[in-house]
Structure 1
């Protein structure tokens, strides 16, 4: 049961993704409502059958002052499709600073990219332009909604209406 469930805040904005087991527990404990369920699968106990959630909505609003995507090695790899941004291979991946750290390059979304060890070593202490190694895609910081929609793997069709909504700006 490796399926995932989209969790919505009380105002129907996308909040996070969780496991089916966690989503079922939230619905069963009446902490969330079932918004959408699988049309093909059910959860079964010895004597009962329950709908398998695909989207749930929390009863209480969860305030998140910062809704961004954390800068981690795995999130950089996800953003770049687990491919070297210089040659396209998916073997021996590591992170590369587009502007090298030795030349005041920061560890940030727009300066880190996925590279294989061979390309990273070949590029060395140069920028991609100086090394004659153009990037397949410039590094960027994904938005929270974009990250869930595009980089979290398989998404359920029932998620799409909630992932295309505009993110609200908090003005307090």
Structure 2
């Protein structure tokens, strides 16, 4: 038997009006969206849902809902390059050796060689790797990057990518 806290701890995927996955919400929020007419159930899994029981009613909450309201799209700007955002993007990990200790910011193409302080040219590096690389490019220093630097993506796009990746893994 499932406890109330287990049921209320589950989440529902919310799709936009054009069927793009945009976020996850808790069961209570999903019920409110459906009851107020701001969302409708989607039946991707063939009638499956989460049973929420009250003393008088059993309510089947779908695992996927679609917004029916046209909300103003929030304007999202790429955040400026700063230490906090860079550490977040690089998962607090040196992009040369994978260390999580004594992290600094490194310009992949050094500023002295014409490199800019932009998302595609800065990475998180530990002090040791930053000093070892010095005023050289990773190629010249023989220090390949663990991942290519790029600007953070819109949160809804990142969520959609993760959602579809998970769906693909479930099919395999």
* Normalised TM-score (structure 2): 0.58
Unpaired runs of 5+ in structure 1? 161-172
Which of residues 40, 60, 69 in structure 1 aligns to 2:69? 60
Give 1:19-168 correspondences, 5 Å limit: 19-20=25-26, 21-36=28-43, 39=48, 41-45=50-54, 47-64=56-73, 72-73=85-86, 76-77=89-90, 83-89=93-99, 91-92=100-101, 95-100=105-110, 104-108=115-119, 110-141=120-151, 144=154, 147-150=158-161, 157=167
Structure with the greater alpha carbon radius of gyration:
2
1:37 and 1:53 in contact (8 A); partners too: no
1:54 and 1:156 in contact (8 A); partners too: no
Q: How many angstroms apart in 1 are the aligned matches of 2:79 and 2:60?
A: 32
Question: Residues 11, 132 of structure 1: CA spacing in aligned structure 2 closer, same or farther, 3 A cutoff?
Answer: same
Report how far residue 133 of structure 1 moved.
1.3
SS in 2 for 1:34: strand
Q: How many angstroms apart in 2 are the aligned matches of 1:104 and 1:57?
A: 44
Structure with the bigger percentage of helix = 2
Unpaired runs of 5+ in structure 2? 1-7
Report how far residue 62 of structure 1 moved.
3.5
